[in-house]
Amino acid sequence: MILEDAPLILDAFDVHKSYGEHEVLKGITSEVMKGEVVCLLGPSGSGKSTFLRCVNQLEKPDVGSIQINGELIGYERRGDKLFELSDDRLAAQRCMTGMVFQNFNLFGHLNAIENIMLAPRLVLKQDKDETRHEAERLLDQVGLKGRERAYPSQLSGGQQQRVAIARALAMKPQLMLFDEPTSALDPQLVGEVLSVIRGLAETGMSMMIVTHEISFARSVADKVMFMADGVVIEVGPPSQVLDNPQAERTIEFLSEL
């Protein structure tokens, strides 16, 4: 749901990333408007997850620039030169994005509400009562009211992923990043997580989602970006990329699914 006169939330330009001699990203340019949902599709190894990690600065691009809300990520400009940010300033910038991983990454020794409260308390220095109230609200939002004291080992995979989504939302990000959020789930649990993400889309949350769920992408995305071999092959609305693809590589990928 792109808002009227929506500002640009993400502006990534010519992003490159290599590991040794293997170039994973070969010049990715992408934009996300406020309220826009962008789904990234493509075969394994195409660079989708690496791109999300660059946006979140879990990986540092070798070349290119990434701006969130007009702020250059990872660097500051002094005159005509760029300087890397300190770890503290980089951590503050990272709060602008909320990252949801494939494998939940919850702290096993903390219960659901403690997992959600941890970062706002440590990073944002929020008041304990305020943080607890917000964590309870978020658990209710993701359909887990009453499971505040449940530990990850007591939750299904789908419930753990919903706690992970609530944890990311607790930092009040400008942009949510989902890296194949249902790939580690049993098929019967996929729907409950996708339903939560659909709900976020309806609230106007800006999101980038790496997914192989084509029907989900068709229903929730404002824009689909198909990647292969580290480049963007095709980008456009679902009706174009999914239902009337123009690139041969896109056609081949969709036919295999």
Q: Which residues of 219-256 are buried (b: 16+ CB within 10 A; e: fewer)?
A: ebbbbbbbbbebebbbbeebeebbeebeeebbeebeee
Q: Give pTM, 2 decimals.
A: 0.94
Instruction: Give the pLDDT score at 4.
Output: 63
* Other residues' Cβ atoms within 10 Å of the Cβ of residue 5: 7
Q: Express each pLDDT in 138-161 by its tens digit.
A: 999 999 999 999 999 999 999 999
55, 84 Cβ separation under 8 angstroms: no
For residues 171 and 98, what is the distance between their CA atoms, to the nearest angstrom?
7
Regarding beta strands 63-68 and 8-19, do their DSSP bridges make them parallel or antiparallel, or are they unpaired? antiparallel
Instruction: Give the pLDDT score at 81.
Output: 82
Helix, strand or coil for residue 87? Answer: helix
Instruction: Give the pLDDT score at 75.
Output: 86
Strands (E), 133-249: 175-179, 207-210, 223-228, 231-236
Strand partners, 100: 178
Mean pLDDT per block of 10 residues along the chain (257 residues) reads 78 96 97 97 96 95 94 86 84 91 94 96 91 97 96 96 97 96 91 95 96 94 97 97 95 91
